[in-house]
Chains A and B, each alone.
Chain A
Amino acid sequence: DSGVTQTPKHLITATGQRVTLRCSPRSGDLSVYWYQQSLDQGLQFLIQYYNGEERAKGNILERFSAQQFPDLHSELNLSSLELGDSALYFCASSPGPGGTDTQYFGPGTRLTVL
């Protein structure tokens, strides 16, 4: 158990809908990262927040947005969902923002768009 929690575990929705994925980092960690992993693919980095501020951005679609709240939990919002958005979404946390930090991953949220 990494200490990172993600809810929900599974989510099934229809095209065009909007969903929110939630992540609680490990106690004391200030950074939160979001990743997308499509079937049998590697991880695609979406975005990182550090202590409430956006820190780094990957190939995150404009239909996707994220934020980190004062209590350090984070939410990833996915809107106007398409079939291709079906994937595993992982959240990770780390103590700080930098290159020496280990990322601790949650169990993921499996999103299925029908």
Chain B
Amino acid sequence: DAKTTQPNSMESNEEEPVHLPCNHSTISGTDYIHWYRQLPSQGPEYVIHGLTSNVNNRMASLAIAEDRKSSTLILHRATLRDAAVYYCILRAAFWDNYQLIWGAGTKLIIKP
């Protein structure tokens, strides 16, 4: 089953951009890359997802490497409310009893 690897924690200053990396060297051609974040004492919430092309939405940008073996979640201007654990997961496009593997995520610390 395809797995992802993320740094345990990262620190950033408020109002600066944040780049959160994720490695997924065993990704298959039909796996989508999803990012979620979990604020303290809450359930995870969706951030962004993509397949091959870079993606932008109101929360963040997702940059996907050309070989798809890594991706980077970009928060353009971090605020204190962005302090959370960020998870990068892979999801198969089609049903084949795939496994949803969530790693430990990256704990993002924002310094005022």
| Sample (23) of A-B pairs whose CB atoms are under 8 Å apart | A2-B43, A33-B100, A35-B102, A42-B87, A42-B102, A42-B105, A43-B44, A43-B87, A45-B99, A56-B97, A56-B100, A92-B43, A99-B30, A99-B92, A100-B49, A100-B93, A103-B46, A104-B46, A105-B43, A105-B45, A106-B43, A107-B43, A108-B43
- Is A98 located at the chain interface by the 8 A CB criterion? yes
The interface residues of chain B lying within 8 Å CB-to-CB of A4 are: 43
Q: Which residue of B lies closest to A103 (CB)?
A: B46
Q: How far is the CA of A10 from the CA of B87 in the complex (A)?
A: 25
By size class, the interface of chain A is 20 to 34
Question: Is B101 a contact partner of A45 (Cβ separation < 8 A)?
Answer: yes
Q: Which residue of A lies closest to B105 (CB)?
A: A42
- Chain B 62-104 interface mask (CB, 8 Å, partner A; 1/0): 0000000000000000000000010100011111011111111
Q: How far is the CA of A105 from the CA of B91 in the complex (A)?
A: 16
Q: How far is the CB of A107 from chain B (nearest CB, A)?
A: 6
Knowing A42-B103, A45-B102, A58-B100, the reply to whether A90 touches B43 (Cβ < 8 A) is yes
Residue tally, chain B, CB below 8 Å to A: 27
Q: Which residue of B lies closest to A54 (CB)?
A: B97
Q: How far is the CA of A49 from the CA of B94 in the complex (A)?
A: 14
- From B31, B92, B97, B104, give the contact of A57 (CB < 8 A): B97
Knowing A33-B100, A42-B104, A56-B99, the reply to whether A99 touches B93 (Cβ < 8 A) is yes
Question: Is B99 a contact partner of A98 (Cβ separation < 8 A)?
Answer: no
Question: Is A56 a contact partner of B98 (Cβ separation < 8 A)?
Answer: yes
Q: Which residue of B lies closest to A45 (CB)?
A: B100
**Which B residues lie at the A interface, using CB under 8 A?**
30-32, 34, 36, 42-46, 49, 85, 87, 91-95, 97-105
The interface residues of chain B lying within 8 Å CB-to-CB of A44 are: 102
- Is A18 located at the chain interface by the 8 A CB criterion? no
Those of A39-93 within 8 Å (CB) of chain B: 41-45, 48, 50, 55-58, 90, 92
Question: Is B49 a contact partner of A102 (Cβ separation < 8 A)?
Answer: yes
Question: Is A98 a contact partner of B95 (Cβ separation < 8 A)?
Answer: yes
The interface residues of chain B lying within 8 Å CB-to-CB of A33 are: 100
